[in-house]
Amino acid sequence: MLHTFLIGAWAECRLKKLLHEQFGFSESEREQIESKDRQLDQWKKAVETAFRKHYNLKRARLNQTSLGVSKAAYYTALQDALDDELRNVIEIRNKLAHGQWVYPLNNQGTRVEPDKYRLLRSENLLTLQLKYSLVRKVADTVHDLVVSPPAFERDFDSHFKRLDQARIDIKRRKYSVFRDRLINSRIRDRHNRVQE
């Protein structure tokens, strides 16, 4: 559980770092982003603000008409990644931060949230490593958008290829295979030390 909590805390710290990058957001942009109550909404506002800044769109809706097809696809992909990947990490971190280590409760504290309960119970070292990698890819992509728009354009596809691979690995990789590899690696290391 502690590792799950730490991944969520890392995501929160990464957002704070992103908001204060030297060539990133202005003070007024930062205030608009931080005015959002929830961390996920702050991430989403950071992406929206960065797109508006990068493509010089102050009020227009961010869609295919204003951005063009490929840029609108980038925007949608980032927003979806935040909704699909970062949301669970943030929400689970909040539950753990409030002492709900066994039974995550709804906001009113009146009943257990079954989806969050299953999510907590399904975590293991493999899924945590993959989720951390996945959250890092999202953060790196947003970082490029904010700090280095040319790098964002250049590296977007490679960032998202790795993000998609992490998504696939979370669904398909078997913990038993991962566990057996760790055990065999440890046995080999011990054997090699004895041989020396």
Assess whether pLDDT exceeds 90 at residue 169. no
> For the residues 106-115, what does the mean pLDDT come to?
87
The alpha carbon of 167 is separated from its chain's Cα centroid by a whole number of angstroms, namely 11
CA–CA dist 188, 178 (Å, integer):
15
Over residues 132-151, the pLDDT tens digits come to: 888 888 888 888 888 888 88
Angle at 65 between CA 51 and CA 79, to 5 degrees: 40
pLDDT confidence of residue 31: 96
Report how many domains make up the chain: 1
| Gyration radius of the chain's alpha carbons | 20
> For the residues 51-76, what does the mean pLDDT come to?
90
* CB 131, CB 89: distance < 8 Å: yes
Residue labelled with tokens 């119970």: 121
Where in the chain does DSSP place strands (E)?
Answer: none
Residue labelled with tokens 């204060």: 20
Phi, psi (rounded to 5 degrees) for 112: -75, 140
Assess whether pLDDT exceeds 80 at residue 79. yes
* CB 174, CB 46: distance < 8 Å: no
Write out the residue range of the structural domain in which residue 129 sits.
Answer: 2-195
Proportion of the chain above pLDDT 70, given as a percent: 99
CA–CA dist 137, 113 (Å, integer):
28
* CB 8, CB 89: distance < 8 Å: yes
Over residues 5-57, the pLDDT tens digits come to: 888 899 899 999 999 998 889 999 999 999 999 999 999 999 999 999 888 89
User: Which residues lie across from 112 on neighbouring strands?
Assistant: 105
Phi, psi (rounded to 5 degrees) for 28: -70, -40
- Share the mean pLDDT of the chain: 87
Instruction: Tell me the angle at which helices 27-34 and 2-19 cross, rounded to the nearest 10 degrees.
Output: 150
CA–CA dist 70, 163 (Å, integer):
18
Please give the single-letter amino acid code of residue 139: A
CA–CA dist 77, 54 (Å, integer):
17
Assess whether pLDDT exceeds 80 at residue 1. no
